[in-house]
């Protein structure tokens, strides 16, 4: 059997290798399309019928141009954004200029792309951080990750909404308003990458940039019926300047419709950057190549109860149980088990780390602008974190990191017996808007409600393990329910191989199409 290019050259890590990764995978999509059929397909349907690899292949074969795809994405934004409010900033003219100047010959050449408006910079464009405090802030440089996005051929035409500083599980902010779920506008799209989740669910584009500091890729993936992979700590660059977020809790990647888009995007973006103090292990071959490899018989722990013991909606439990049965039918060994961690200690550690991180960030902004932090520029929860952080000493931060290390060790020992942990992604289907925002009447009740909604995700930001949400179920009300699958540190390849197997066994492309796209 002849090996594909990405299987033959696993040692290559240069851009030249990255440019050719998509050729074989995308070709199968377009090759199956009769020549006469392409002319009959309405252009707008391209955004619904093809993933990013498929769209790039259409550009490569000149069946559609990058300018046409951009026009389609812009038209879909203008059609759907008034209903769902997922755009923080629009760079339409800049995107047209990038196309006219000539795009790099990367595997996603010509595919429209949106950045999340949080800790991500494109020189000369707004960087609002979901906050009124950053009104008028313009990036003075381009992030290394964004540079890699551009090298991949992606066409950046805007930024998506985020809650202020990414501090909650919904995307609602005083700066940009409420982002709504295309499955039900009265429900949240998740957070803090809810703008990206809503944009993909609305059919604007097949994938969008997202970040995850406590579940913020997996939460909107679950809420919006998408695939969301949180990579291992140190896998994807975050600089220049600062090469980790929230003490290593936060990572960058994307929400996507297909598994292969996520894998190829990670192939294009992973690897150390100048100043990296650590890096996740380099895989043996490309992530995309693992989609064609059988994962082997995996040992699966089914964890249905959150570490804190909070209640889980029966529909979410049922979704995880169904996924476990599917894995058993695919030959994997499943048993109910879960790692044990000190939830109270982790909660205190997270609070110490986030509150002091808010002090550093807000004080830096105050120095830049001369504007003191106050309710006029900050929402109540970030201001609460800031005020508490001012009273938190350095020893508390040191103890927080020690707590994280103990939890990582406990989970690492647990995973000597298991390859994968399966759980619900969230404790309920997406709740109504207005409950998890950053302006609550009662801070304690707000914290308890956010934690009860997201009890499964944050642990794996602490441990640094890769974790993905797969769109495998719908609630009785027709709302998406995600199932979380988590691997050992550095084992994204195993997760991608498993995800591809599940995607083939239970395809979600059509069943997880938001009503707005079925109606358009």
Quick: pLDDT tens for 83-99. 999 999 999 999 999 99
Query: Among this protein's residues, is 116 annotated catalytic?
Result: yes
Query: Is the confidence at residue 3, as pLDDT, over 90?
Result: no
pLDDT reported for residue 519: 66
- CATH number, domain with residue 198: 3.90.1300.10
Residue for token pair 């988590």: 486
Domain containing residue 108? 13-339+415-519
Q: Could you tell me if residue 262 is inside a domain? A: yes
Q: How many domains does the chain have?
A: 1
The pLDDT of 301-315, averaged and rounded, is 97
Q: Could you tell me if residue 398 is inside a domain? A: no
The tens digit of pLDDT for each residue in 351-399 reads 999 999 999 999 999 999 999 999 999 999 999 999 999 999 999 999 9
pLDDT reported for residue 44: 81
Q: Could you tell me if residue 242 is inside a domain? A: yes
The tens digit of pLDDT for each residue in 171-214 reads 999 999 999 999 999 999 999 999 999 999 999 999 999 999 99
Marked catalytic residue, from 131, 162, 173, 192:
192
Distance, in Å, from the CA atom of 217 to the CA atom of 469, rounded to the nearest integer, reads 8
Query: Among this protein's residues, is 216 annotated catalytic?
Result: yes
pLDDT confidence tier of residue 26, bands split at 50, 70 and 90: very low
User: What single string gives the DSSP state of each residue in 64-99?
Assistant: S-HHHHHHHHHHHHHHHHHHH--EEEE-HHHHHHHH
The CB density around residue 326, as the number of other CB atoms within 10 Å, is 18
Coil, strand or helix at 485? strand
Specify whether the CB–CB gap between 320 and 482 falls below 8 A. Answer: no
pLDDT reported for residue 520: 54
Closest CA to 323 of 514, 479, 507, 470: 470
The pLDDT of 142-154, averaged and rounded, is 98
Task: Tell me the longest C-alpha to C-alpha distance in the chain.
Answer: 69
Marked catalytic residue, from 143, 173, 196, 216:
216
The pLDDT of 55-72, averaged and rounded, is 97
Average confidence score pLDDT of the chain: 92
The pLDDT of 299-318, averaged and rounded, is 97
pLDDT confidence tier of residue 510, bands split at 50, 70 and 90: confident
User: Buried (b) or exposed (e) across 91-122, using 16+ Cβ within 10 A?
Assistant: beeebbebbeeebeebbbbbbbbbbbbbbbbb
Q: Could you tell me if residue 410 is inside a domain? A: no
Marked catalytic residue, from 116, 258, 467, 469:
116
Q: Could you tell me if residue 367 is inside a domain? A: no
Query: Is the confidence at residue 15, as pLDDT, over 60?
Result: no
The tens digit of pLDDT for each residue in 421-461 reads 999 999 999 999 999 999 999 999 999 999 999 999 999 99
Three-state secondary structure readout of 326-379: HHHHCCCEEEECCCCCCHHHHHHHHHHHHHHHHHHHHHHHHHHHCCCCCCCCCC
Q: Could you tell me if residue 1 is inside a domain? A: no
Q: Could you tell me if residue 8 is inside a domain? A: no
Q: Could you tell me if residue 484 is inside a domain? A: yes
pLDDT reported for residue 517: 73
pLDDT reported for residue 38: 47
Residue for token pair 């504007």: 371
């Amino acid at each position: 059997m002849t090996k594909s290019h990405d299987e033959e050259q696993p040692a290559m890590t240069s851009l030249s290798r990255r440019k050719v990764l998509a050729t074989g995978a995308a070709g199968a999509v377009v090759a199956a399309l009769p020549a006469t059929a392409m002319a009959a397909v309405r252009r707008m349907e391209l955004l619904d019928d093809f993933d990013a690899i498929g769209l790039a292949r259409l550009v490569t074969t000149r069946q559609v141009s990058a300018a046409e795809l951009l026009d389609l994405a812009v038209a879909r934004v203008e059609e759907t954004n008034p209903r769902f409010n997922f755009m923080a900033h629009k760079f339409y003219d800049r995107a047209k200029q990038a196309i006219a100047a000539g795009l790099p010959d990367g595997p996603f050449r010509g595919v429209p792309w949106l950045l999340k408006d949080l800790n991500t910079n494109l020189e000369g464009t707004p960087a609002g951080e979901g906050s009124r405090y950053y009104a008028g802030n313009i990036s003075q440089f381009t992030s290394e990750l964004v540079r890699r996005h551009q090298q991949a051929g992606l066409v950046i035409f805007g930024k998506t909404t985020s809650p202020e500083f990414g501090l909650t599980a919904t995307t609602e902010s005083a700066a940009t308003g409420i982002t709504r779920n295309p499955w039900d506008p009265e429900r949240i799209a998740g957070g803090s990458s809810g703008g990206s989740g809503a944009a993909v669910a609305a059919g604007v584009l097949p994938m969008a940039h997202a970040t995850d500091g406590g579940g913020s890729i997996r939460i909107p993936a679950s809420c919006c019926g998408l695939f969301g992979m949180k990579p291992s700590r140190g896998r994807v660059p975050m600089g220049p300047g600062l090469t980790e977020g929230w003490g290593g809790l936060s990572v960058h990647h994307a929400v996507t419709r297909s598994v292969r888009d996520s894998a190829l995007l990670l192939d294009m973006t992973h690897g150390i950057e100048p100043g990296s103090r650590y890096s996740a292990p380099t895989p043996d071959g490309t992530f995309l190549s693992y989609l064609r490899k059988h994962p082997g018989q995996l040992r699966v722990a089914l964890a249905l109860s959150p570490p804190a013991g909070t209640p889980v909606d029966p529909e979410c439990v049922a979704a995880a149980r169904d996924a476990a049965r599917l894995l058993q039918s695919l030959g994997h060994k499943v048993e109910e088990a879960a790692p044990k961690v000190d939830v109270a200690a982790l909660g205190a550690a997270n609070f110490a780390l986030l509150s002091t991180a808010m002090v550093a960030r807000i004080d830096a902004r105050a120095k830049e602008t001369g504007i003191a932090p106050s309710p006029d520029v900050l929402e109540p929860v970030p201001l609460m974190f800031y005020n508490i952080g001012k009273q938190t000493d350095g020893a508390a931060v040191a103890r927080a990191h020690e707590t994280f290390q103990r939890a990582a060790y406990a989970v690492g020992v647990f995973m000597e017996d298991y390859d994968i942990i399966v759980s619900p992604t969230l404790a309920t289907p997406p709740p109504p808007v207005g409950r998890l925002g950053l302006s609550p009447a009662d801070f304690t009740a707000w914290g308890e409600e956010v934690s009860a909604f997201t009890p499964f995700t944050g642990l794996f930001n602490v441990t640094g393990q890769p974790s993905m949400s797969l769109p495998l179920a719908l609630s009785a009300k027709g709302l998406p329910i995600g199932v979380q699958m988590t691997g050992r540190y550095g084992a994204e390849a195993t997760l991608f191989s498993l995800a591809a197997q599940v995607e083939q066994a239970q395809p979600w492309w059509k069943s997880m199409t938001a009503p707005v796209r079925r109606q358009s």
